[in-house]
Amino acid sequence: MNKLSVISGKSSEDLARKLSKKIKANLVKSEIKVFPDGESKITLIGKISKKKSVVVQSMYPPVDTNLVQALSLITKAKENSSEVVVVIPYMGYARQDREFLPGEIVTMKVLGKLFKSAGASKIIVVDIHSSIGLKHFSIKTKNVTAIPDLVGFFKKLSLKNPLIVSPDQGGKERAKEFAKEFNSDYIALEKTRDRKTGKVEIKTKNLEVKNRDLILVDDIISTGGSIIKATQFLKKQKCKRIYVACTHALLMNDAEKKIKKAGVTSIISTNTIPGKTSKVDISKTIAKAIM
């Protein structure tokens, strides 16, 4: 039997298949039956390696369902393999990494205990929203970035005097890293929020974006509010095309349609979350982290 198995969760079938080819492992597929009450019954198809298994399961919505399925797959893998590496391409609950207000539960601390109890030897994530969350895990963790893979995609496009843009100051380092790989300059927009009305405004001045193609860079796009606000602002500065590059495209509540309506030419994301925009494969980057 192959010394390495990749166990594919339902949320990451395409990525798991590509990863298994990259690391020359046998692929074990999942069959899911969902009962009327919402419970999932998982059946694995294929033989699990006795030496090392790699479980691949993303935690995008429905987050809790995909989490329980991930824990179930890990438990089954541990019954057969001496080592279980767990790849969670998109880590749900990553924004719940500390107690912001008294009484809030730090869910990442709960996940750390759950993954260890299930039998995970190591956790690999991609562009986690905050690395603080991984400090709650007592097992080995590794956060890999999809930025080089995204940059590789954009290098193939014919862009006019491109500029990398972060929609806010919080993503400044991400934009800087992207720009360094892309060999271009970057900026980070400054936002202010009215404490009474909650209205967000962009205060950045003296932008040199006229007639330039822009790449808005972010890690997660959920509802797309920040991207839409930035796009509307940049369009008024008479830039040319605006592209969006992100690792995780959740695109909730018709976000893709709203972003396109605001003036974005194209949204490009990775296959951490499968969908129409996930045109960048990150299996090679994950394979390096495993091997």
DSSP assignment of 161-200? S-EEEESSGGGHHHHHHHHHHHTS-EEE--EEE-TTT--E
Q: What is the mean pLDDT of residues 187-213?
A: 79
With a cut of 90, say whether residue 87 has pLDDT above it: yes
What is the band of 203 on the pLDDT scale with cuts at 50, 70, 90? confident
Q: Do both 247 and 172 map to the same domain?
A: yes
Instruction: Please compute the mean of the pLDDT values over residues 138-160 and round it to a whole number.
Output: 96
List all residues 6 or more positions away from 278 whose beta carbon is below 8 Å from its beta carbon.
Answer: 249, 269, 270, 271, 272
Which residues fall within 8 angstroms of residue 112, CB to CB, at 6 or more apart? 136, 137, 138, 139
**Are 37 and 67 contained in the same domain?**
yes
Residue pointed to by tokens 């790449």 = 215
Question: Which strands, in side-by-side order, build the sheet including 242-249?
Answer: 186-188, 163-166, 214-221, 242-249, 266-270, 278-280
Could you tell me the CATH number of the domain that includes residue 89? 3.40.50.2020
pLDDT of residue 195: 65
Residue 23 located in a structural domain:
yes
106 and 141, same domain (yes or no): yes
39 within a domain of the structure (yes/no): yes
The answer to whether position 219 is within a domain reads yes
Average pLDDT, stretch 117-134? 95
Residue 191 is among the residues annotated as catalytic for this protein? yes
Question: What does pLDDT average to over the chain?
Answer: 94
* Total number of domains constituting the chain: 2
- Residue listed under structure tokens 């329980």: 68
Q: Which domain holds residue 212?
A: 147-271
Does the pLDDT at position 212 exceed 70?
Answer: yes
Q: What is the pLDDT of residues 48-86, one digit of tens each?
A: 999 999 999 999 999 999 999 999 999 999 999 999 999
Same domain for 131 and 219, yes or no, is: no
Report the alpha-carbon distance of residue 225 to residue 255 in Å, rounded.
Answer: 8
Instruction: Give yes or no: residues 119 and 179 share one domain.
Output: no
Query: Does residue 276 belong to any structural domain of this protein?
Result: no
pLDDT at 208: 83
Position 205 confidence tier, pLDDT thresholds 50, 70, 90:
confident
Both 198 and 245 in a single domain? yes
CA dist., res. 154 & res. 254, Å (int): 25
Pair (12, 134) in one structural domain: yes
The reply to whether 244 falls in a domain is yes
Evaluate if pTM is beyond 0.85: yes
Residues 51 and 161 in one domain: no
Same domain membership, residue 260 and residue 159:
yes
Beta bridge partners of residue 201, listed in sequence order: 192
Mean pLDDT calculated for residue range 7-17: 97
Averaged pLDDT for residues 154-164: 95
The answer, yes or no, to whether residue 202 has pLDDT greater than 90, is no
* pLDDT > 70: percent of the chain: 97
- Domain assignment of residue 59, yes or no: yes
Mean pLDDT in residue range 18-26: 96
Q: Are 161 and 237 within one domain?
A: yes
Same domain, 177 and 125: no
57 lies in the same domain as 178: no
Eight-state DSSP code of residue 211? T
In angstroms, the Cα distances linking 234 to 126, 197, 208 are 29, 23, 10
CA count, 13 A, side-chain hemisphere, 66: 23
Q: Which of 191, 199, 205, 210 is catalytic?
A: 191
8-17, 92-101, 107-116, 268-277: segment of lowest average pLDDT: 92-101
Average pLDDT over residues 226-247: 94
